């Protein structure tokens, strides 16, 4: 499957109320299509979130740190869909644009 775009969409989590952050991040990831990247900016390293993303999306979402300081963390999350890979049977996103969890 070829990459559709090299577009990077910024997502500054510092401006999202803490109680809505994870849901907003999942929603943003689920709106991305194959090859698109969300540049996540936060004031701390979101290790529990990274674990949730891995558990929820598996290899469909890859990440790489762009900056990892004590006062600012920048992570690029990129959607990588495999052509023959079926959507997860459980724990998927339940729909959305391009993450592959919607099964259609």
Whether residue 37 contacts residue 68, with contact meaning beta carbons closer than 8 Å, is answered with: no
* Nearest Cα residue to 55 out of 12, 98, 96, 26: 26
Mean pLDDT of the chain: 83
Confidence class for position 7, pLDDT limits 50, 70, 90: confident
Given a cut of 90, is residue 31 above it in pLDDT?
yes
Helices marked H in the chain: 21-31, 47-57
The pLDDT value recorded for residue 82 is: 80
- Note down the domain range covering 97: 1-104
**Mean pLDDT value of segment 33-49:** 96
Percent of the chain with pLDDT over 90: 70
Given a cut of 90, is residue 92 above it in pLDDT?
no
- CA–CA separation, 45 and 67 (whole Å): 10
Whole-model pTM? 0.75
* Nearest Cα residue to 64 out of 72, 75, 51, 52: 75
**Mean pLDDT value of segment 34-62:** 96
Residues paired with residue 63 on neighbouring β-strands, in sequence order: 77
Given a cut of 80, is residue 1 above it in pLDDT?
no
Is 61 in a helix, a strand, or coil? Answer: strand
The pLDDT value recorded for residue 62 is: 97
Percent of the chain with pLDDT over 70: 73
The count of domains in the chain is 1
């Amino acid at each position: 499957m070829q990459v559709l775009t090299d577009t990077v969409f910024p997502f500054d989590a510092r401006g999202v109320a803490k109680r809505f952050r994870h849901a907003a991040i999942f929603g943003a990831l689920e709106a991305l299509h194959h090859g698109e990247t969300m540049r996540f900016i936060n004031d701390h390293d979101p290790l529990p979130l990274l674990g949730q993303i891995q558990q929820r999306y598996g290899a469909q979402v890859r990440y790489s740190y762009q900056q990892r300081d004590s006062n600012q963390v920048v992570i690029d999350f990129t959607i990588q869909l495999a052509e023959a890979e079926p959507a997860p049977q459980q724990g998927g996103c339940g729909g959305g644009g391009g993450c592959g969890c919607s099964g259609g």
